[in-house]
A and B are shown apart, each in its own frame.
Chain A
């Protein structure tokens, strides 16, 4: 139990979105609903993990001078492959996320982890780092999207992107009390700012807890 709690705290502390403020553009744009958030999150987990593995594998033979172009080629290839697979097997995600799937190429989380971690560490550690960062990113997206979707529409639903069958749909707020502005950019910034403030508060609070012990 304690290790799960520690893992959760680490995800918060090292959270790429609310801790390091990386990859915010896509976070703000696509967190309109849970489906988009999970589709984007899972794509990023897959790309980040595999790109970390490949970059770690070639870290000793990559010449230092051209490492960034090499990383970009690796990341762009993976993103394009994922984009093609999504188009083929989950067209609903492709329709919803549109240009933000190809834009994963320039998502700073992925290049950031390649440069900061995978280029200096072993394959297993890099894979784990990619997975952790991907999960943290996904959780941030899910948190944002849940808040925005519930406040803007009052409904939480999830549709299987492969079959287009609705898995569940729960109405939490009657439609006359919803705040549609939360599905727009203003709602995105508000939600992001509040969550980032909350995460900062937790992080700043933590050392004091330890001292108290």
Chain B
């Protein structure tokens, strides 16, 4: 009996020490990690919100499509979206200003059929979306129906999150 108590207490002390050390390291590194994460997307965010200077990552409810959310102080919100396209995922950042207008769309990863699905990354499609209101209907591209449908579905998912934030 005495033995088992000794073993339990020893392992508990070791685990508590380990937890304490990790808590300490986490406290030092957490703000730096958050800053680095923002830095990676900051260029894109700056492009979407040219006037904004302060960006912060915000936590949103767990979502299959909307991966990250960012707030541009005083300018709007941006969302990192990853959605299944025709043969691979499509990743993009979409920003909404505070009036509910689409402020910018930046494709980060498109790997669908070259010449067809990749049309979602071309200016023609992006310009057809930017400056629309969140209530407007967005048009797909003929010849790239599945890819552009996926992007619009992703945008709608981001709009849903955006509406819940307002």
Interface residues of A (CB under 8 A from B): 58, 61-63, 65-66, 69-70, 73-74, 76-77, 80-81, 84-85, 87-89, 91
CB distance from A188 to the nearest CB of B (A): 25
User: Is B33 within 8 A of A70, CB to CB?
Assistant: no
Assembled-state Cα–Cα distance A77/B19 (Å) = 8
Complex contacts, A74 vs chain B, CB 8 Å: 14, 18
Identify which of A63, A81, A88 contacts B10 (C-beta below 8 A): A63
Main SS at interface, chain B: helix
CB distance from B4 to the nearest CB of A (A): 9
Identify which of B11, B21, B28, B29 contacts A77 (C-beta below 8 A): B21
What are 25 A-B residue pairs whose CB atoms fall within 8 Å in the complex?
A: A62-B10, A63-B6, A63-B7, A63-B10, A66-B7, A66-B10, A66-B11, A69-B11, A70-B10, A70-B11, A73-B14, A73-B15, A76-B18, A77-B18, A77-B22, A80-B22, A81-B21, A84-B22, A84-B26, A84-B33, A88-B28, A88-B32, A88-B36, A89-B32, A91-B36
Complex contacts, A89 vs chain B, CB 8 Å: 32
Assembled-state Cα–Cα distance A87/B15 (Å) = 23
* Additional A-B contact list (7), CB under 8 Å, known A66-B11, A70-B14, A88-B33: A61-B10, A73-B11, A73-B18, A80-B25, A84-B26, A91-B36, A91-B40
